[in-house]
Amino acid sequence: MTTAERPPWIRKESKNPDPKLADKSPGFKILSDNRQAGHNYFLMDRFEAGMVLTGTEVKAAKDGKVQLKDAYAAVLNNEAWLINAHISQYSHGNRENHPPVRNRKLLLHRREIDKLLGHTRDKGLSLVPTKIYLKDGRIKCELAVAKGKKLHDKREAERARTAEAEARAEMRRRG
């Protein structure tokens, strides 16, 4: 049937047969990023953990009201916890609103918790949250096993970063 023969009430055939491809949302949105972690620590292994949150915490986090600046993670009583993370109170919350800073339980598999416990027992290693993001409607926290940088390490990283930026600028100018 050609387009001239097709009655007007029949829809045109779609060029995209997969309805999922029409959806523009990738299912991954960063809610908070801890950029200081990369500056202050050598980040090694990374883990993805779910979080136990209340309703107003979820709504505030989806609004981007999350601060990871002083936050860290720890394994206490064979459970993983996010400590010192600040999720602001929800603006439309009532008297049942959550406290902004509290310990939040992280959801990991037993093997992952045991691995993290083994890493943190080592000298100088800690668990640092690097980002909190929304993945397929669920709020996740990315943890990194980290070793603290000394001042000379930070200076060396800064020198390397500026040298790389200068090299990129020179390549752009020539190319």
The mean per-residue pLDDT over the stretch 59-87 comes to 89
Q: What is the pLDDT of residue 2?
A: 61
What is the residue-averaged pLDDT of the chain? Answer: 83
| DSSP track, 112-151 | HHHHHHHHHHSTTEEEEEEEEEEETTEEEEEEEEEEEPPH
> Of 37-51, 85-99, 116-130, 136-150, where does mean pLDDT reach its minimum?
85-99
**φ, ψ of residue 116 in degrees (nearest 5):** -65, -40
Q: How confident is the model at residue 23 (pLDDT cuts 50, 70, 90)?
A: very low
From residue 52, alpha-carbon distances to 48, 98, 106, 147, 166 in Å are 14, 13, 6, 27, 44
pLDDT of residue 128: 92
Q: Given this model, what pLDDT does residue 154 score?
A: 82
Scanning the structure block, which residue is given the tokens 């669920």? 138
Q: Residue 108: pLDDT above 50?
A: yes
Position 22 scores a pLDDT of 43
